[in-house]
Amino acid sequence: MAVDNAHLRELVALVSQSVESVLAQYAAAARPVPSLDSTDPSAPLDNRAIREATRVLESACAQLCASVAPPNHILVNMVNPACLRVALTARVAEQLRDGPKPISELAKTSGISADKLGRILRNLATKHCFREVSKDVWANNRLSVCLLPEDTTSGLIGHMTDEMYFGMTSLTDALTDAEWTDSTDKEHAAFTRAHKHNVFEIMTNDAKRGERFPQAMLGWTKLHGGAEVVVQLYPWDSVPANATFCDVGGSVGHVAMALTKAKPHIKAVVQDLPTVVEQAKDVWQKEFPEAVQKQRVQFVPIDFFAGSPVEGCDFYYSRSNTCQYLTSHRHDWPDADCETILKNTRKAMKPGSKVLIHEFILMHAAPEAVSESSEKAPFPLLPNFGVGAQRKYNQDLNMMSAFNSRERTLDDFVAIGAKAGLKLVKTWEAADTTIVELEAAHRRRIAQHTCLLAKRKRFGDLGDGRKKQHELTARRIRRHLEL
Ligand SMILES: C[S@@+](CC[C@H](N)C(=O)[O-])C[C@H]1O[C@@H](n2cnc3c(N)ncnc32)[C@H](O)[C@@H]1O
């Protein structure tokens, strides 16, 4: 029998290639790769090449272990969010800010049993978060410094391991409830079942969680490359002078700010709910006053479900607005909400305007099910990059658990775009996230459809019922495309 272990060697080769590519990036920056013990948050280098190499590395290492280690090891080793939450609540990283401390001291300050806290830290340290420098003496390391309060990752970990984790505990109950299972109403989400309140009620009524939420959102942004990703990814240098970038639902406009700072030939419009736009004005006045003085930025309130953004912009950018972290007034039609936002945007577009949807784009794990236009992982990795892309699949489940909502595939976006009269131009891949570029769909399609209809009628090959159905379809297409 032929023994073919080529796939294992190919995985090892991917591990070494990706590590070499990381080493090359650090060498180019004349910096060493920081050790696991390093607590300097500025030491790790973050750029697109490193993110791409890391995605392959994470995927190949996990696939290698899943291929070789006993399957029950992999299943039983799953991360324990409860330990992270205890460490955060006990403020262990903060206590270790100035150097190592014995468990007795950490326990005294946090009011948690020294024995139990030590066991929690040992569990985390076996996954390389915290370091036991000598018996029962603990120190921060590369991972645990992210739990310091000034790092937005700590807000995200708090949010995930507290209210979101608790929400997830009701996922099975919500999914197996015959009345809830097919619902897309957020009142039927696991989170609501567990907490007896939906996410927005919890964030409004629970001051501590509500205050942490914006930091958690910034933590997500940082996790996926921050505002810089947009600046680096799109060919802004070839865009004409004074092109306008409209950040729709842009919060205080941090993406628009990063772009206009880096590309002075671009102007920005920041659009969000009225209260957020007022905050945006203050933030820009403080962080980028020249743009305000030279009128390189406009602030225009919007309810993107009810109206269109500013007309005639060159780019309409939308990030993280197609999931349900929104104050949508609709409870049960996440796709319809997304379609409404795009239709309203389509109405504002001039010839040549582009829509840039910046989201996690999910891919199927089966090779033949991956969309033609999607970026594929190198063989023998899973085509969707497996564990290297785990965060977006986790986020998809967060959306399911918290809002009965979802992240989407490229085909989903293309289909929703088509309903709003938009067609795919290109995707711009940023390792974790993708910018999907859309433009107005060609009006020729309506003409073609009408012509086909006329031809069929002429040849009388349609019964009355079918004719009526085709006329209705034609009218619907016209309404979608012409708006
Ligand atoms: C998940 S945040 C994304 C913010 C920003 N695009 C980013 O990526 O950081 C969603 C944003 O949509 C805004 N928003 C929610 N409902 C809105 C509405 N009906 N009209 C306009 N903006 C809305 C929120 O205020 C928030 O800033």
List the structure tokens of 125.
Answer: 């340290």
Residue 330 pLDDT: 46
Domain final residue, candidates 123, 147, 171: 147
Same domain assignment for residues 339 and 404: yes
Q: Is 331 a catalytic residue?
A: yes
User: What's the full length of the chain, in residues?
Assistant: 483
Distance, CA 319 to ligand 1 centroid (Å)?
8
Position in ligand 1 atom list of the atom nearest CA 358: 8
Confidence (pTM): 0.81
Which residue out of 215, 302, 321 has the highest number of ligand 1 atoms within 8 Å of its CB and is therefore the one to mutate? 321
Question: Do 156 and 116 contact (CB within 8 A), yes or no?
Answer: no
Per-residue pLDDT of the chain (483 residues; tens, 9 = 90+): 566 789 999 999 999 999 999 999 999 999 999 999 999 988 899 888 999 999 999 999 999 998 998 888 887 776 689 999 999 999 999 999 999 999 999 999 999 999 999 999 999 999 999 999 999 999 999 999 999 999 999 999 999 999 999 999 999 999 999 999 999 888 999 999 999 999 889 988 999 998 898 888 888 888 877 788 899 999 999 999 999 999 999 988 999 999 999 999 999 999 999 999 999 999 999 999 999 999 999 999 999 999 999 999 999 999 887 655 444 444 445 678 888 999 999 999 999 999 999 999 999 988 877 777 677 899 999 999 999 999 999 999 999 999 998 899 999 999 999 999 999 999 998 878 899 999 999 655 544 555 565 665 555 555 566 666 666 666 665 555 444
- 295 and 342 together in one domain: yes
Say if 7 falls within a structural domain: no
For the sheet with 131-134, list strands across it: 101-102, 137-139, 131-134
Q: Does residue 246 line the site of ligand 1, with CB under 6 A?
A: no
Q: Are 388 and 261 members of one domain?
A: yes
* pLDDT at residue number 396: 93
Q: Is 158 in the pocket of ligand 1 (CB under 6 A)?
A: no
Structural domains counted in the chain: 4
Nearest CA to ligand 1 atom 12: 249
Tokens 């079918």 correspond to 466
**Do residues 271 and 317 share a domain?**
yes
d(CA 367, CA 446) in angstroms, rounded, equals 34
Q: Are residues 329 and 448 in the same domain?
A: no
Which domain-ending residue is among 222, 241, 262? Answer: 222
At residue 323, the pLDDT reads 56
Contact 417, 424 (CB under 8 A): yes
* Rounded distance from Cα 235 to ligand 1 centre (Å): 25
Domain check: are 343 and 388 in the same one? yes
Q: Which atom of ligand 1 is the closest one to the Cα of 276?
A: 25
Asked whether residue 213 falls in the same domain as residue 86, the answer is no
pLDDT at position 450, please? 53
Provide the pLDDT for residue 329: 43
In the set 331, 364, 449, 470, the catalytic residue is 331
The verdict on the CB of residue 359 being under 6 Å from ligand 1 is: no
Three-state secondary-structure class, residue 247: strand
**188: containing domain:** 152-222
Specify if 343 maps to a domain. yes
Give the pLDDT confidence score for residue 331 in this predicted structure. Answer: 45
* 395 within ligand 1 shell (Cβ under 6 A): no
215 Cα–ligand 1 center, Å: 15
> Which two three-digit tokens encode residue 84?
């992270």
Predicted confidence at residue 326, as pLDDT, reads 45
Output the pLDDT for position 455: 60
Q: What is the pLDDT of residue 36?
A: 92
**Of the residues 152, 204, 251, which should be mutated to test ligand 1's pocket, given the most ligand atoms within 8 Å of the CB?**
251
Same domain, yes or no: 168 and 235:
no
Cβ–ligand 1 contact at 304 (below 6 Å): yes
CATH code of the domain covering residue 415: 3.40.50.150
Query: 173 is written with which tokens?
Result: 């109950």
Please state the atom number of ligand 1 nearest to the C-alpha of residue 304: 20
Cβ(353)–Cβ(439) below 8 Å: yes
Could you identify the atom of ligand 1 that is nearest to the CA of residue 251?
27
Question: 439 CA distance to ligand 1 centroid (A)?
Answer: 22
